[in-house]
Amino acid sequence: MGLPIAGETFAKVWQALCGTPEEAANMKARSELMPSISGRVKVWNLPQDEAAKRVGPTRPRLTDLMRGRTDKFSLDALVNTVTAAGFTLHIKLEKAA
């Protein structure tokens, strides 16, 4: 993943942060799942140890999730976690511009 060149413009923030469109799509998907999971955990109002037992990751990993550290999670892990948090996941595909 390279850094953007000064003065370079991007249509979407993900393009600036990632080296390929595939990496950008993966990061975007992860960043869209994490707020739903952290919101659900906050509503439960449980100690993080108990919340972690409900959704799957360890307490330190749940802390990373709650702080929005997308780089710490694979898309696969987040799909498992969002399901354990009581959500049904739907994926919508659109034709690229």
Residue 7: predicted pLDDT: 55
Residue 96: predicted pLDDT: 80
Closest C-alpha to 40, from 89, 95, 87: 87
Q: What domains are there in the chain, each with its CATH number?
A: 13-84 (1.10.260)
Residue 25: predicted pLDDT: 87
- Per-residue pLDDT tens for 46-73? 999 999 999 998 999 999 999 999 889 9
* Residue ranges of the chain with per-residue pLDDT less than 50: 1, 4, 10
Residue 30 CA, distance from chain mean position: 3
- For residue 32, give both structure tokens: 């869209």
In whole angstroms, give the CA distance from residue 40 to residue 21: 30
Q: Does the model's pTM come out above 0.85? A: no
Length of the chain: 97
First to last CA, the chain: 23
For the chain, percent of residues with pLDDT exceeding 90: 61
